[in-house]
Chain A
Amino acid sequence: MNRDIEEHKGFQKRIFILGLGKAVLSSLIIGKLYYLQILNKSKFGKLSEDNRTKIKILHPERGIIFDKNNKRIAENRIDYQLSLLKEKKNLVTREIIKLQKILNITEDDFFQLNKNLKRKTLDDFITIKKNLTWEELETFEYFSHQFPFMSITKEKVRSYENNYAFSHVVGYVGYDSSVKRKKNLPDLKIGKTGIEKIYDSILVGKEGWQKIESNSSGTIVRKLDNLKSTSGENLQTYLNSDIQEYNYDLIKKMNGSMVLIDCYTGGVISMISSPSFDINEFSYGIKNDNWKVYQSDPHKPLLNKSISGLYAPGSTFKLIVALFVLQNNFSLTQKYFCSGSTELGNHKFHCWKRKGHGYVDLRQAIKESCDCFFYNLAKDINIDELAKMAKKFSMGNKTKIDLPNESSGLMPTVQWKKKNKNDSWHLGETYNAVIGQGFTLSTPLQLAIMTARIASGKIIYPKIKYDPNTQPNFSDLDIDKNSLNFVRDSMFGVVNEYKGTAFSSRLKSKKYKMAGKTGTSQVRRISLAEREVGVLENKELPYKLRDHSIFSGFAPFKDPQLAIAIILEHEGSGSKVAAPMARDILDNSLKILNT
């Protein structure tokens, strides 16, 4: 009996120890549960949320760019893209090999894909192939069950109605390379040039997102809440598609540019730079090789020459000089004799007309573009004072157009020369300056603005964006009305009177008259030896040495509506090429605008 009790005690002791073990185990488990469910609830809650939800960034649709008549210049088309769930990134090689059996994946796609794979974004999807054709789309849909981690998405891609005529002014879109934006929205395209760039903040819109619930294998179960993307605002411009396209057809075979401006509003009706480039190619994503071709082209197709191209203004600058001397009480009856050249020291300055113009007054000098007359004026001209006058016409100043990368041109002064050439100003340089040669440089837009200001008598500023609610109000130029009228009248003479340099380019219409000024921008220095054997005709010269053909003008003469500037590179004298083209453009434009 005693043994039984002892045995029983021993048994109880063992059971107690066993129970103790269980208690320890229980508290361990409860402790861990407390750790998981109470202490780390938020951490695991977030992990579980990340597991379940995927984010798809919804790119905003870019605002549409319209011309003045609400014709679409830049719009968006639907692009079908194939994307892969980012979680399955490590399977990408296997998936691509599978995909290659049904779709053609080009080297460019691979290049893009590699870039996409390296990027860190909020987006839980990686784009594999863009620009799927209908056939590719159908093929993929047919085999889609084999690709549970891939999906087709619709993206809006910038598309341009006319892919050459508007290239420079409208600009193109591309991926942002700035660090800040790239992190979050690497697939968002932003404006790179032209209107697309300067009004990017208006056009771009705001991105949204779509939360998607997916299961462990990446199959989408349902769509959760979303934030819709906000489309960018539309933009209306002063541009006129019909005029732009007509003008582009005229100019596209040459190198050069033109600007057509509304003389009341400063609105840019047409702006062309030639040669142009395929703007759609850029917006869809240009291939590297093609980009290099554009980059290395000597005719600089990517440069908007209308606002960034710099040329000597040539004889068109004589209008400024005329206004300058008239402001300083120059007599209209004052005549100078032109023998074909003028001497200054031992240097001979030539008139374009080797035989000379004989006795000419200011009006004739403008009309026939006599250089010698202006050389005579140059003797008494202070270059700094002339520069002040030129700047009133935006020569040497930015026109403040709403486009990126505008050049300010160059209007030389004594100080400028000291600073940049480390030399004092010579009178000979004033001789060059008064006929728009030498240091002076201007953009076609500056010429157009100069002409518009002369034509209207107001300080016109150019504008691309059209806002129907505000009428631009420009103040008057502080220049004597009579002087302006005289210059306008002289410009009328250039085009409409016998012996005028652009007489052959007068408007055929009886309704309107055009006024203007030709110019020839000399690219080379004509040597003395050459003068003696006779100056070579432009056609005989190698292309690169030929003169630029310039014309600036306005129409109709009474109540000016349009101002134009054309610069055609290496096309010879202004009267031969630029002036007739200006006539055609103005003729057509007035017809379109006034019907």
Chain B
Amino acid sequence: MQEIVYKFKNLNWTLVMSVLFLSLIGLIMIYSASNAEGMRSTYSHLAKLVFGFTIMLLVALININTWQKYSFLFYLIGIIILIYATFYGFIGKGSRRWINFLGVNIQPSEIMKIFLIIGLAKFFDERKIEGLRDYLFLLIPIIMIAIPFLIILNQPDLGTSIILLFLGAVVFFIVGINYKFFMFCGIIFFFSSPIVWNLLHEYQKQRLLTFFDPYKDPLGTGYHIIQSEIAIGSGGFFGKGWLRGTQSHLDFLPEKKTDFIFSMLGEEFGFLGTLSVIGLFILICIIGYLMVSSIEKSFFSKVVGIAIITNFFISGAINMAMVMGLTPVVGIPLPLVSYGGSSMVTYFFGFGLLLSIELSHKIHKEDNLVNLPFFRQ
């Protein structure tokens, strides 16, 4: 009990508060987005938020070594759930595979991101890649990425699978894989892109084409992105005010609760609002970096910490870039803000791990100090 109180006191409360603040902004936006249909969505989102927050604290209290020990098991469980979802899951919103777990709908591809991160981190923690001979072993993490990537791509969920691939690459990058490897991958990707193009679904191709010129078909495929830009732009510096966004409340803005919630924020709270949210993202990122940089020993912890922060930041950035027409529309929700339990719980889970990493190493350090002969009293 004392241990728990001690851990609680030593939690990084700056991170906890920042994360909580961002998710409260999400709650406010969800309220506005679902204003017309009553309070159902808001309550539902609030419940998920409370649940996710609890998960974060619980995960934080568990020692990181425990997570490290069972990393491969979690990864395997993740893969099994994904395969299960492929065969027995149901399709929600056109593309994503969901499973029903104890009456709650879960999107397993979200949680897979975390499991992949810890799986890869454990692999690289145990086997350092240095010589040329070691590169043969890279086949294992590549397969570890490829399996969930292909399953999710097949769901089909282009956004999540791209994020997954990107996270794999980030882990490869930070564990110190030679730059030549990335160049090699780049060349392979370049030459295989025509094949990949042919493998894409028609609507995915359409989205990519639309990205390059949304005004070519303003009422068809380009409609969403144009309406989103109008929403953000019309917000101006101060925004139209909470609940007063016309683009969103009159349904010109698509998917305003989920993928396009940032546009709604831009419309109702203006440049001030969007800048604040980006600021919050950067703040959380910096806090994460500081937390990770305090660790000296555990390679696993460092990799997991950086990967989790990157996952959070990149998902957010892609979502924002997407609604502003900087990247093609690939359904990625805005972390902690968009409506959707699985995604939110996953990010809370990630932050829980981040907290756990810092906490575990703090205790470890203090234990070591206490064990030193001159420290004893």
Contacts and interface: CB of A to CB of B under 8 A. Distances in A.
Interface of A: 7-8, 10-12, 14-15, 17-19, 22, 25-26, 28-30, 32-34, 36-38, 40-41, 43-45, 47-49, 51-52, 90, 213-217, 221
9 contacts: A10-B176, A33-B266, A37-B236, A38-B237, A41-B233, A51-B230, A51-B246, A52-B247, A214-B250
Contacts of A90: 219
Given A7-B176, A15-B289, A52 B246 contact: yes
A513 to B, nearest CB: 79
Contacts of A36: 229, 232-233, 266, 324
A43 B250 contact: no
Contacts of B231: 48
B17 interface: no
A29 B230 contact: no
A424 to B, nearest CB: 77
Given A48-B234, A217-B251, A32 B324 contact: yes
B140 interface: no
Interface of A is mostly: helix
A11 B302 contact: yes
Contact of A41 (B236, B285, B310, B313): B236
Given A29-B317, A33-B266, A44-B233, A18 B306 contact: yes
Nearest to B271: A37
Contacts of B232: 33, 36-37, 44
Contacts of A38: 236-237, 271
Contacts, number: 123
4 closest Cβ pairs, A-B complex: A44-B233, A48-B234, A215-B250, A36-B233
A48 B230 contact: yes
Contacts of A45: 233-234, 236
Nearest to B245: A48
B367 to A, nearest CB: 20
Contact of A15 (B174, B235, B281): B174
A44 B239 CA distance: 12
Interface string B258-279: 0000000011001100110010
A44 B293 CA distance: 43
Nearest to B306: A15
A41 B234 contact: yes
A18 B303 CA distance: 12
Contacts of A29: 278, 317, 320-321, 324, 326
Interface in B134-183: 170, 173-174, 176
Interface string B302-323: 1000100010011001001100
A15 B309 CA distance: 11
A258 to B, nearest CB: 62
A47 B247 CA distance: 10
Interface residues of B, number: 45
Nearest to A17: B173
B282 interface: yes
A18 B229 CA distance: 29
A216 B251 CA distance: 5
A402 to B, nearest CB: 51
A25 B275 CA distance: 14
Given A14-B176, A33-B266, A34-B271, A215 B317 contact: no
B21 to A, nearest CB: 18
B174 A43 contact: no
A584 to B, nearest CB: 69
B274 A37 contact: yes
B74 interface: no
A22 B289 CA distance: 12
A18 to B, nearest CB: 7
B242 interface: no
A37 B267 CA distance: 9
A30 B271 CA distance: 9
B324 A52 contact: no
Given A17-B173, A37-B274, A216-B252, 16 more contacts: A15-B292, A18-B174, A22-B314, A25-B321, A29-B320, A32-B325, A33-B266, A33-B324, A36-B233, A37-B237, A44-B234, A47-B230, A48-B252, A49-B234, A52-B246, A215-B252
B285 A22 contact: yes
Interface of B: 170, 173-174, 176, 219, 227, 229-237, 246-247, 250-252, 266-267, 270-271, 274-275, 278, 281-282, 285, 289, 292-293, 296, 302, 306, 310, 313-314, 317, 320-321, 324-326
A45 B218 CA distance: 18
Contacts of A19: 289
A48 B247 contact: yes
A37 B174 contact: no
A18 B172 CA distance: 12
B327 to A, nearest CB: 10
Given A11-B176, A22-B285, A47-B234, A37 B266 contact: yes
Contacts of B314: 22, 25
Contacts of B302: 11
A36 B326 CA distance: 12
A13 to B, nearest CB: 9
Contacts of B250: 51-52, 213-216, 221
A526 B20 CA distance: 113
A41 B232 CA distance: 9
A20 to B, nearest CB: 12
B184 to A, nearest CB: 18
A273 to B, nearest CB: 54
B314 to A, nearest CB: 8
A33 B233 CA distance: 8
A280 B374 CA distance: 114
B255 to A, nearest CB: 13
B321 A51 contact: no
A51 B326 contact: no
B7 to A, nearest CB: 26
Contacts of A37: 232-233, 235-237, 266, 270-271, 274
Contacts of B274: 33, 37
Given A28-B326, A33-B271, A40-B233, A48 B251 contact: no
A354 B278 CA distance: 113
Nearest to A19: B289
Nearest to B267: A48
B351 to A, nearest CB: 17
A176 to B, nearest CB: 32
A44 B8 CA distance: 48
Contacts of A213: 246, 250
A244 B278 CA distance: 81
A38 B235 CA distance: 9
A12 B237 CA distance: 38
A18 B170 contact: yes
Contacts of B292: 15
A215 B250 CA distance: 4
Contacts of A44: 229-230, 232-234
* Most central of A18, A48, A221 by chain B CB within 10 Å: A48
Contacts of A40: 233
